[in-house]
Amino acid sequence: MWGATNLNNVLLMIRNQNILTGCLAVVLGSALILWITPAQTIPAIFATVPSGFYPNFTSGMLIVSGLALAVSNIFAKQDKYIGGKVSGQISIRFSVSFILLVAAMAAAPVIGFVPTGICICVVTLLLMHEDRWTRIILISVTSPLLVWCAFEILLGRPLP
């Protein structure tokens, strides 16, 4: 019987991070083998082993390990996962950190290293609950300038 209790169990299990991770690994591995690697690999003409052998082999490992992870948890009697938290909080924090980090990195070549550095320092210190503005200003100004001077002047490596 596929009653409400079973449905609840399934929903519980779907929330299980191992199953989700395993399924994602299988999907990613399959996509790599079926579409991404063939589309993104120029076939070698004289090579003894095809150019796509290694990505396909490692994608195969991803599929097998992901499948084993998912299946072993699907057939588990209870939710035994004892690792990380499965919550919307993680997704939100991940999205925020992803957007902030990528935006900061993308801004550096456009507006320059020092202005980006000042913004990063201010945001980082505020996120870490530093509320003394003298320290925020001191660190936010000196850090980017010191790093810029170290690379530009000492090492002679140009920064954006």
Partner 1 sequence: MPVELDIIILGIIDAVSVWNILLVAAGVTLGILVGAIPGLNGPMAIAIAVPATFYLEPIGAIGFLVGIMKGATVGGAVPAILMNTPGTPDAMITTLDGHPLALKGKSGKALKMAHLSSVTGDTFSDIVLFVAAAPLSILAMMMGPVEQAAIIFFSICVMAGLIGDNPLRGLVAASFGFVLASVGQAPEEATPRLTFGFPELEDGIPLVAVGMGVLVLGQIAYAIAERQVSTRGRMVPPSIGADAQLSFGEYMAVKKTMFRSAVIGTLIGAVPGIGTALAATIGYSAAKRASKTPEKFGKGTIEGVAATEAANSAVSGANLIPLLTLGVPGNVAAAFLLGALIIHGIIPGPTLIRDEGQLVFSIFTCMAIANLCNLIIGRVGLNLFGLVAKISAIYIFPTVILLCMAGAWISSGGPVGLILLGIFGAFGYLLRAMNFSVVIFIIAFVLGRIWEFPLTQAMILTRSDPIRLLNYPVAVGFILAGLGLVVFLFFFTHFENNKVGKT
CA 56 to chain centre: 22
Q: Does residue number 115 form part of the binding site for partner 1 (CB under 8 A)?
A: no
Tokens of 22: 């395993």
CB atoms within 10 A of CB 139: 16
CB of 155 to partner 1, least distance (A): 7
For partner 1, give the closer residue by CB, 1 or 125. 125
**Options 6, 10, 34, 109; binder of partner 1; rule CB under 8 A:** 109
For partner 1, give the closer residue by CB, 7 or 109. 109
Return d(Cα 98, Cα 102) in angstroms, integer. Answer: 6
Residues 28-57 close enough to bind partner 1 by CB under 8 A? 28-29, 32, 36-37, 40-49, 51-55, 57
Q: Does residue number 6 form part of the binding site for partner 1 (CB under 8 A)?
A: no
Q: From the CA atom positions of the chain, what is the Rg in Å?
A: 24
